[in-house]
């Protein structure tokens, strides 16, 4: 695989994971039940707003690199290494699932970052660095909520 193909594949994987994280946080915001409802409902809202705000920016940066965004969402989601769950009702399990998903995405940011560094794409490296910082903040908040 040449550099362009490797970059494209990593961008799609990372972008696809962002889509899954956006949908998961939105869904847990809606379907949440339990004693921590109010705080977790707000937390998941902050999370999906963050992903929503950044996904358009991410897509436009991919376009600036002259790659297209797959128009078939089912095909796009096949690039994701974060899996959707069948059904989670327990609030702690929702938090654990998001925590695990954030960890998968953190590794994905890291491998994309290395490719961007090799290609000397400073602007995109800055964007991914900010996504990594946001990821760590959500990760810390969830760990604190779960007391782990
Ligand atoms: Fe809402």
Extents of the domains making up the chain: 3-146
Token pair in block for residue 74: 């089912």
Q: What are the DSSP calls for 69-105, one per residue? A: PPS-HHHHHTT-SSPPPS----HHHHHHHHHHHHHHH
CA of 139 to the centre of ligand 1 (A): 21
Taking 3-state DSSP, the helix, strand and coil percentages for the chain, each rounded to the nearest 5, stand at 80, 0, 20
CA of 47 to the centre of ligand 1 (A): 12
Phi–psi pair at 80, nearest 5 degrees: -75, 140
Q: What is the pLDDT of residue 142?
A: 96
8 Å CB contact between 132 and 113: yes
Q: Which CATH class is domain 3-146?
A: mainly alpha
Q: What is the pLDDT of residues 48-71, one digit of tens each?
A: 999 999 999 999 999 999 999 999
CA of 46 to the centre of ligand 1 (A): 10
CA distances to 16, 61, 102 from 23, rounded to whole Å, are 11, 21, 13
Q: What is the pLDDT of residue 108?
A: 98
Model confidence at 2, pLDDT cuts 50, 70, 90, reads: confident
Say if residue 1's pLDDT is above 80: no
Running DSSP on this structure, what letter comes out for residue 65?
Answer: T
Q: What is the pLDDT of residues 77-101, one digit of tens each?
A: 999 999 998 888 899 999 999 999 9
Say if residue 22's pLDDT is above 90: yes
CA of 45 to the centre of ligand 1 (A): 7
**Residues 63, 56: Cα–Cα separation, whole Å:** 11
8 Å CB contact between 67 and 11: yes
């Amino acid at each position: 695989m040449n550099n362009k193909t490797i970059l494209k594949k990593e961008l799609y994987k990372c972008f696809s994971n962002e889509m899954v994280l956006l949908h998961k946080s939105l869904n847990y915001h809606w379907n949440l039940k339990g004693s921590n409802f109010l705080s977790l409902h707000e937390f998941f809202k902050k999370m999906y707003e963050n992903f929503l705000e950044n996904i358009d920016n991410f897509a436009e940066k991919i376009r600036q690199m002259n790659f297209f965004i797959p128009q078939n969402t089912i095909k796009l989601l096949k690039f994701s290494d974060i899996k959707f769950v069948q059904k989670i009702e327990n609030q702690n399990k929702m938090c654990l699932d998001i925590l695990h998903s954030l960890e998968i995405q953190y590794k994905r940011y890291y491998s994309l970052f290395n490719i961007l560094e090799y290609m000397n794409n400073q602007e995109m490296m800055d964007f991914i660095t900010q996504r990594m910082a946001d990821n760590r903040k959500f990760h810390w908040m969830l760990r604190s909520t779960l007391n782990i």
